[in-house]
Amino acid sequence: MEWLTRQLRQLEAKGLRRTLRPLAAGPYVERDGRRLLNLASNDYLGLSTDPRLTAAAREALERWGVGAGAARLVVGDRPVHEALEAALAALKETEAALVFPSGYAANVGVLSALAGPRDQIFADALNHASLNDGARLSRARFRYYRHRDLEQLERLLQGPGPAPGGRRFIVTDAIFSMDGTVAPLPELAELAARYDAVLVVDDAHGTGIVGPEGRGTAHHLGVADRIPVQVATLSKALGVQGGAALGSRALVDYLLHRARAFIYSTGISPVLAAAALEAVRLVQSDEGARRRHRQQAHVARLKAGLEALGYTVRHEPPAPMLAVLVGAPEAALRLSAMLETRGVLAPAIRPPTVPPGTSRIRLAPMATHTDDDIEAALAAFPEAEAIQPHVA
């Protein structure tokens, strides 16, 4: 297996070697005995360590134990799973929801169940890897369109249609987490209606943090009733773990029979389901609204401050993250290391996660950070010219 070692050496030479570095959760973490400001988490509302979620998890632990014990279609279904699905459907204002072990499993399960060899899938070029993997597993004809390029997408839709009996699917992230950009959902819904396509939207980074009562990006843009298939995650703003497909009762019933990622996986732990149920309740409360407002204010302040330092920053409201473009992997690693020495944890994002030449620092402040934390983060950044010329 010497070829594995050679491959790893090549990755290291390119500045692409990765390692795991265990940390605690929360707005501040410790590494090598040093306290660091954590700007790398997707725990946007700071719920992963909230005592109310911990209490809900503890109660579920005492009532149902640690694990579900089996796939939910066998004997792994618990009342808390159904309560969570009802709460998620109410949050998204859909008829039903189906919880998967992870957001990745939800995307793979939904696309591989709904699409098949006779079908066509048109996908944004910057979609999450799980959407791409689900599309490939479906064996549908799979085509990318340039990021948010509606003209190219329409040209593709005007081309040859699917095989007889086949369908068309337009698939997109709602918020693109490595760029902080937002999908043009109203225009995509219009194209889907015009060309008889099914619109599938992964709102992993919008659920809980975007829109009225945290309902998500589709509600923020006023098109929730025009999106027949939504996917959400429990692992970001909701602070837990898992994924969900949301839509009509017929959609969920169909996935129950056809989504292999659901059928052949043990149900999520009732402990996690109970914590997620509490998180859904919290995001719809007045406190949830206050946390969303605070997190969005932190993002806006970071963007303004970094642009004043000369950085190229990608972000569109209401995305809860922003990308500080650097360019080469080595430069991103250097900036990340410099920030860590100054008390800020912000890992470099490099290929293959992002395209070559666009390595970056991704910043995601939490609602539980203070205004002083954000100012300290800005003070840790050097002038952009001290790193290297950045890319547009």
Task: Please write the tens of the pLDDT for every residue from 146-203.
Answer: 999 999 999 999 999 999 999 999 999 999 999 999 999 999 999 999 999 999 999 9
At residue 5, the pLDDT reads 92
Task: Please write the tens of the pLDDT for every residue from 379-389.
Answer: 999 988 777 54
Answer yes or no: is pLDDT of 390 > 70.
no
Q: What phi, psi does 142 have (nearest 5°)? A: -115, 120
Separation of alpha carbons 130 and 287, rounded Å: 32
CATH-assigned architecture of domain 22-42+286-386? Alpha-Beta Complex (3.90)
Neighbours of 161 (CB within 10 A): 13
Task: Please write the tens of the pLDDT for every residue from 122-156.
Answer: 999 999 999 999 999 999 999 999 999 999 999 99
pLDDT tier, 391 (very low <50, low <70, confident <90, very high otherwise): very low
At residue 31, the pLDDT reads 83
CATH-assigned architecture of domain 51-283? 3-Layer(aba) Sandwich (3.40)
At residue 388, the pLDDT reads 58
Average pLDDT in the 256-284 region? Answer: 97
Phi-psi region of 381 (alpha: psi -120 to 50; beta: other; left: phi over 0): beta
DSSP 63-130: HH-S---SBIIIII--HHHHHHHHHHHHHHT-SEEEEESSHHHHHHHHHHHH--TT-EEEEETT--HH
**Joined tokens for residue 5:** 């070692």
Percentage of the chain exceeding pLDDT 90: 88
At residue 22, the pLDDT reads 66
At residue 231, the pLDDT reads 98
Answer yes or no: is pLDDT of 392 > 60.
no
At residue 340, the pLDDT reads 94
Phi-psi region of 233 (alpha: psi -120 to 50; beta: other; left: phi over 0): beta
At residue 1, the pLDDT reads 87
pLDDT tier, 21 (very low <50, low <70, confident <90, very high otherwise): confident
pLDDT tier, 24 (very low <50, low <70, confident <90, very high otherwise): low
Helical axes 103-114 vs 249-258, angle rounded to 10°: 90
pTM for this predicted structure: 0.92
Give residue limits of the domains in the chain: 22-42+286-386, 51-283
Answer yes or no: is pLDDT of 62 > 80.
yes
Average pLDDT in the 295-304 region? Answer: 98
Average pLDDT in the 321-348 region? Answer: 93
* Burial track 137-152 (b if 16+ CB lie within 10 A, e otherwise): bbebbbebbebbeeeb
Kind plus residue range of the DSSP H or E element containing 174: none
At residue 20, the pLDDT reads 74
At residue 25, the pLDDT reads 77
Answer yes or no: is pLDDT of 94 > 60.
yes
* Mean pLDDT score of the chain: 95
Percentage of the chain exceeding pLDDT 70: 98
* Burial track 366-387 (b if 16+ CB lie within 10 A, e otherwise): bbbbeeebbeebbebbeebeeb
